[in-house]
């Protein structure tokens, strides 16, 4: 349970930035 909490919390911290990066790359590629 503890590992799950830490894993989820770490994802909450790090993934939005990664997702944003990928979203930007995708939108730029679409634009091109």
Partner 1 sequence: PAAPSRAQVFATVVDTFLEKLVAAGSYQRFASCYRCFYKLQPEMTRGIYDQFVSQLQASIKEEIQEVKDEGNLEVLFNSLDKIAEEAQSREEPAWRPSGIPEEDVRSAVVPYLLKHRSYLRKVLKEKEEENGKVAESVLAGRERIAELQQLIQARKRAWQ
Partner 2 sequence: MSVNPMAYEAQFFGFTPQTCMLRVYIAFQDYLFEMMLVVESVILKKLVGFPDCKISPFQIRKSTEKFLLFMKDHFDKLFSKMEEVLLQLVLNIPENVLLPEDKVQEQYPYSKEQFQALQDEIRQLQQQYKAEASAGQALRAELEEQKAVQAELEKILQWFDGLENICREHGTGNFKESFAFLTQNSKKLQDVLKEVEEKSKKIK
Residues at the site binding partner 2, with contacts judged by CB under 8 A? 1-2, 5-6, 8-10, 12-13, 16-17, 31
Cα 32 from Cα 30, distance rounded (Å)? 5
Cα 6 from Cα 17, distance rounded (Å)? 18
The footprint of partner 1 (CB under 8 A) covers 12, 15-17, 19-20, 23-24, 27
Q: Which does 10 bind (CB under 5 to 8 A by kind): partner 1, partner 2, none?
A: partner 2
Query: Least distance from C-beta 20 to partner 2, angstroms?
Result: 9
């Amino acid at each position: 349970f503890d590992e799950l909490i830490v894993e989820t919390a770490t994802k909450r911290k790090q993934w939005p930035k990664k997702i944003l990066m990928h979203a930007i790359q995708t939108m730029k590629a679409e634009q091109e």
